[in-house]
Chains A and B, each alone.
Chain A
C-alpha cells in the first residue's frame, strides 16, 4: 500500500473517530439537551478518540519509515552468498547500491549477474512485504487504540484536559525544533570536522599558509598530496568583508542619519521602501550583477588608472556585497538613533548646536553601542555570504591584501569542495566541514555579541 494512501486512510479513520467519540459521549448522558452532565464539551471526547486513533499509528509509521531501509538492506546482505558478505565495507556498499538501483529499475554500470538479480528481487520482495505489514500494523493499531479510547469515554472523563495536554506537548515539541536544529548543525559539522582533524592537524589548518585541497586519487600520483592551510581563505574572507564594510558602514549610517533627521516625510516614504527592495534581492542576483557588470567596470577603471586588475578581483565582489548590506546597516542604525531619548536631542539643539553637531557630538556617541552591535551583525552577514563570492570572487587561494587581486573565501571553498561527487572519507570533503565549523563558530560569536549589545542598548533608554 502506498504511504500516502495509508496516511489518507488514517486521516479518514481519525475523522470518523471524532464523530463516534462525540456521539458516544452525548448518547451516554442522553442526547444534546444534557450536555452539562459531561465533564467537557462533547467535541473534546471526539478529539480524544481521534488523537488515540491517529497518534500511535503515525508514530509507528514514522519509526517504520526511518528504520525500514536499514533493516531491508541488512536482510538482503544476509541473504547474499558467503563470498560476497566477506567483501570489504566499501565494496559491499557499492554492491548494495547496485542492487538497490537495479531493483528500482535504473541502468547500472556493472554487469548484472545471477547473484545481483536474485538480491534485487529479494530486495523488492522485502520492500513490498514490509509495506504490507506496515499497513496492517498501523491500521490495526489505530483501530485498537481508538476502540479502547472509545470504550473509556465516560461522563466524568476529563477529555478536555487530556486533549489540551497533547496540544501542549505538540507546542513544546515545535518550539524545541529551534534547539534541535542548532544541535544538528553543531553535531553535523563537528563530527566531520573532527574526522578531518584526525587526518590533518589542527595547527596546520589554522596556521598553514598554503591551501590546495587536491588530494590524490591513486596513492602513486605525484604532487597532489593536498595541503590544508586555511590562512589564505581567512585572509581573503577578511579582505572582501573589509571592502564591503568600507562601503556599507558609512553609506548605511549616513543614509540612516539623513532619513531620520533631514529628509521630508515624502522623501523618506519613497527612499525607505526602495532601500528595502535592495534587501529583498536574492544574493544570486547580486552575484550575477557582480560577475557580469561590476567586475568588468572595476577592471576597466583599474586598468585606466594603471593598476593590474584580476578579472575576479576582490574589489568587485566586496563592492557589491557592501551594497547588499547597506539596508541592514541603515535599518539597525536607524533603530539605534531612534532609541536615543529626544530630551538629549532637544537639549543639544536648545543650547544652539546645529543639527550635524547634535548628531555627531550627542546622538551618535549615545547610540554608538547599538550601531556597533548592528555593524557586528553586518560583518557576520558578510562573512557568511556565499553566492556573491562564489560567482564573482576567484578560486585561487592567494595570500594578499591587494583588493585588485583575486582571492578566495571560506564559503567559496566550501561550495567548490562539496559541489559534485564526493566521498565522505576524503580529507577534501571533510575539509569543507572544518571550514563550516569555523564559519559557524565565528558568525555565532559575532551574532551573540551583536544581538545582546543591540538588545541591551535598546532596553537602556526604555
Chain B
C-alpha cells in the first residue's frame, strides 16, 4: 500500500517537469520547421524586391536628325562604319546647348546608353528612306541613370560617393520635367544576348542555350533511362552484374555534379575533341547526370504496375517483350514522364558541370545550333552575379526569377501529370 503511494507521489512530483519538457520539445520542433519556411519567405521577398525593377528600363526621348552628311559623307551609306553614335551626341548637344567643354560634354553623352547608336543603325537599316529626316525616338538611358531613376543610387550622397555627377542629375531632371523620360517594360532583357552594358544585357542567349541543352538531354536520357529501367525491372536475372548496375546507379545519383563536369572535360572535349562551350557537350554531360534520376523514377513506375497485368498477357500467349512493350510500358508511362520532367528540371538548374566544359565564356550572340558557343541560364546568373555594376545585381535577380519560373512550370506539370494520369491499382 505505502510503496504504491510513494511511487505515485514520485510520478506526480515529476509530472510538471515532464510536461514542461514536452512543451519545450514541441516548441523546438515548431521553430525548426519555421526556420526553413522563414528562410523561404525572406529569400523570395529579397529576390522579388531586388529583381522586380529589372523588368523596367528608363528611356529618354531624343530628337535625332539622321543627317546624310554624317552618315554618308561620301554619298554612300555604310552601315558598319556610319557614325550613329555621333548623331545621338549631336542631338544631346542640341537639347542642352549650354553644356560646353570637353569634360562636361563627355558626361552628358554618358546619360544615354551606347545601345542608342545600335538602335539608330537598325532603324536606318530597315528604313533607308528615313535618311535626312529628323526622328523623335525613345532611346535607353545608361545603366547609372537607370539606377538613379529607380532609386538604387542615392542622390543625397556626396557627389564623390555616387557614380552619377550633380550635373548629370540636373540634365536628367531636365528630361524628366519635359516629360521625355519614361520607365517602360524592359524588352531588351528578353530579346538580347549578354552584354557588358547592363542596360543592353539580356537572357535570350542563355535561355536558348539552356533550351538546346535540354533538348539533347531529353532526346538521349529519356529513351536510355526508360530502356535501362525496363531491363533492370523486367529482364535482368538477379546476379552479380545486375547488382553491380544497381549499386552503380544509386551511387551515380549521389556523385557531386562537378565530377560529371570533369568527366565531360576529359572525355568529350579532350578525348573526343567536341567543341568547347557547345550545348551539345553540355547536353551530353547533363544526360549522364539525369540518367540515374530517370532510371530510378522509371523503375518505381514499372514496379507500380500490378503483376496480374503481366500474367494475363503472358497467359494469352504474348512474349515477354510483347508484355512489356504492349502493356507494362503504356501503363507506367505517366510515372516515367513525371520522373523525366523532374530530371529535366534538375538539369535546368545545374551549373557546376557546365563551368568545367567552358560554358562560362562571355557570349553575345544568341546560339543558333547545337555546336555554337553558348551559355546556360544558371551560368548566366553566375556570370552576372560576379559583375561589379550595380545594375547587374538587379538583372541577376530578374534572371533568377525567370529561372525559378521555368522550374515552377516544369514541376507543376509533373505534379498535374501525376495527379491526372497515375492510377491506383
Contacts and interface: CB of A to CB of B under 8 A. Distances in A.
A390 B227 CA distance: 37
Interface string B18-45: 1101100110111111011101100100
Nearest to B46: A293
Contacts of B272: 66
Interface in A413-433: 414-415, 418-419, 424, 432-433
The majority secondary structure among interface residues of chain A is helix
A26 interface: no
A265 interface: no
Contacts, number: 253
Contacts of B228: 171, 174-175, 177-178
A181 B252 contact: yes
Contact of B381 (A254, A262, A288, A354): A288
B264 to A, nearest CB: 9
Interface in A349-385: 352, 354-357, 359-360, 377, 380-381, 383-385
A316 to B, nearest CB: 14
Given A69-B273, A178-B249, A377-B254, A436 B236 contact: no
Contacts of B375: none
B235 A168 contact: yes
Nearest to A326: B36
B302 to A, nearest CB: 12
Contacts of A419: 355-356, 360
A443 B155 CA distance: 51
Interface string A52-88: 0000000000000010010000000000000000000
B227 A251 contact: no
A313 B244 CA distance: 42
Contact of B21 (A277, A283, A356): A356
Contacts of A330: 36
B317 to A, nearest CB: 11
Interface stretch (B75-83, B94-102, B255-263): B255-263
B200 interface: no
A354 B21 contact: yes
The majority secondary structure among interface residues of chain B is helix
Nearest to A263: B33
Interface in A203-249: none
A281 interface: yes
Given A164-B321, A284-B349, A284-B378, A386 B266 contact: no
B345 A179 contact: no
Contact of B29 (A177, A255, A444, A450): A255
A31 interface: no
Contacts of A69: 273
Interface stretch (A13-21, A110-118, A184-192): A184-192
A448 interface: yes
A7 interface: no
Interface residues of B, number: 84
B231 A278 contact: no
A451 B251 CA distance: 8
Given A178-B252, A271-B37, A262 B26 contact: yes
Interface stretch (B136-144, B176-184, B287-295): B287-295
A92 interface: no
The 4 closest A-B pairs by CB, nearest first: A384-B256, A258-B29, A282-B349, A254-B32
Given A174-B223, A386-B258, 8 more contacts: A164-B321, A171-B231, A255-B29, A288-B400, A381-B254, A387-B382, A391-B385, A418-B265
28 contacts: A167-B325, A171-B231, A175-B227, A175-B295, A178-B249, A178-B292, A181-B288, A184-B263, A253-B32, A254-B31, A258-B29, A258-B33, A274-B40, A281-B404, A284-B351, A285-B404, A287-B385, A289-B46, A323-B36, A323-B39, A327-B36, A354-B21, A386-B355, A387-B382, A414-B262, A418-B262, A419-B360, A443-B256
